[in-house]
């Protein structure tokens, strides 16, 4: 697609050639989050049929975070030890990572997925704190920047210009995206999630993860992902970077109605979860 042509979110996605369809397994898992009657054994068999997926999940299941190094050899064992809810979030993330193109030129996918997994870990601990489904929050966290991948696929020459390789995504880079393309990665990601038939809460949380004026209900998933994104940028080996602390506290207290004293403990918990979950990334 020529960058001189006027573009919109819709026609970028319509013309995207390298964008994969979402594995049906992911949609089944997402539907199962609210289904208490889900047949766990049937879903486990489907997961087990994808060896690349199993390999990623097993790396996490056998990580030091879970204290079970080398003891888990099958998906059924992983379910019995970790619990089906934990496994669903990991499998969803692994499926999405597996589905994406691996060679995107100058774009550093390791940095991209590292931030996605960190945001997912932060989202999971925040969701638990406010009583939301932690696995849905984990999934939304992994996907919150997915629009960046679409921009990279369709406009590879803009990776440097739009600062898509930078781990910090500030207001200046969003303004650059909007000025150059007419939209930003959050808008693009939200529409992609809609086309992938993700639940409305996940779609909205992707669309609004940079929206400082969001009218989402206090403590909802959109607020959790907004705060989790800030939290991920502030997290530093279980501590919170001093220069990020004031903004994080402000959003944590106003959006999630939580006291700031809870943040240090949540930071340690998020760091531990990230250290295990990051093993989803890699070959």
Task: Considering the chain, tell me which residue range(s) the CATH 1.10.3210.10 domain(s) occupy.
Answer: 104-283
User: Computed from CA positions of residues 71, 27, 205, 20, in that sequence, does the dihedral angle turn out positive or negative?
Assistant: positive
Write down the pLDDT at residue 1: 44
Write down the pLDDT at residue 66: 72
In angstroms, the CA 14 to CA 6 distance is: 14
pLDDT tens digit at each of 283 positions of the chain: 444 455 789 999 988 877 888 888 888 888 887 776 777 888 888 888 988 888 888 888 888 777 766 678 888 888 887 788 888 888 889 898 888 888 888 899 999 999 999 999 999 999 999 999 999 999 999 999 999 999 999 999 999 888 888 876 678 889 999 999 999 999 999 999 999 989 999 999 999 999 887 555 577 999 999 999 999 999 999 999 999 999 999 999 999 999 999 999 999 999 999 998 998 886 5
Enclosing H/E stretch for 7: none
Write down the pLDDT at residue 169: 63
CATH superfamily of 104-283: Hypothetical protein af1432 (1.10.3210.10)
Write down the pLDDT at residue 40: 80
Write down the pLDDT at residue 166: 80
Give how far Cα 120 sits from Cα of 75, 105, 227, 247, 260, Å. Answer: 22, 25, 11, 19, 20
Write down the pLDDT at residue 206: 96
Give the long-range contacts of residues 46-54, CB within 8 A, separation 24 or more.
47/75, 47/87, 47/91, 48/74, 48/75, 48/76, 50/25, 50/95, 50/98, 52/98, 53/25, 53/91, 53/94, 53/95, 53/98
pTM exceeds 0.85? yes
Write down the pLDDT at residue 69: 65
114 exposure class (CB count in 10 Å sphere: 0-12, 13-18, 19+): middle
In angstroms, the CA 135 to CA 101 distance is: 24
Write down the pLDDT at residue 241: 95
């Amino acid at each position: 697609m020529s960058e001189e042509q006027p573009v919109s979110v819709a026609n970028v996605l319509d013309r995207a050639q390298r964008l994969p369809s979402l594995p049906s397994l992911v949609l089944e898992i997402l539907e199962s989050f609210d289904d208490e009657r889900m047949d766990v054994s049937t879903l486990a068999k489907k997961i087990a049929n994808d060896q690349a997926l199993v390999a990623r999940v097993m790396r996490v299941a056998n990580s030091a975070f879970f204290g079970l190094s080398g003891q888990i050899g099958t998906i059924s064992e992983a379910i019995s030890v970790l619990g089906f809810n934990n496994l669903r979030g990991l499998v969803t993330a692994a499926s999405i990572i597996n589905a994406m193109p691996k060679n995107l030129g100058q774009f550093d996918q390791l940095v991209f997925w590292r931030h996605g997994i960190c945001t997912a870990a932060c989202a999971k601990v925040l969701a638990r704190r406010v009583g939301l489904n932690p696995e849905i929050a984990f999934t939304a966290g992994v996907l919150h920047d997915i629009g960046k991948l679409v921009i990279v696929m369709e406009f590879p020459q803009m990776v440097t210009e739009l600062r898509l390789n930078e781990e910090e995504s500030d207001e200046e880079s969003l303004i650059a995206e909007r000025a150059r393309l007419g939209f930003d990665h959050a808008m693009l990601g939200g529409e992609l999630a809609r086309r992938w038939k993700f639940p409305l809460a996940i779609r909205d949380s992707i669309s609004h993860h940079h929206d400082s004026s969001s009218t989402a209900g206090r403590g909802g998933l959109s607020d959790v992902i907004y705060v989790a994104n800030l939290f991920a940028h502030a997290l530093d080996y279980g501590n919170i970077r001093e220069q990020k602390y004031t903004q994080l506290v402000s959003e944590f207290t106003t959006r999630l109605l939580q006291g700031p004293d809870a943040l240090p403990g949540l930071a340690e918990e998020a760091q531990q979860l990230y250290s295990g979950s990051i093993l989803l990334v890699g070959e």
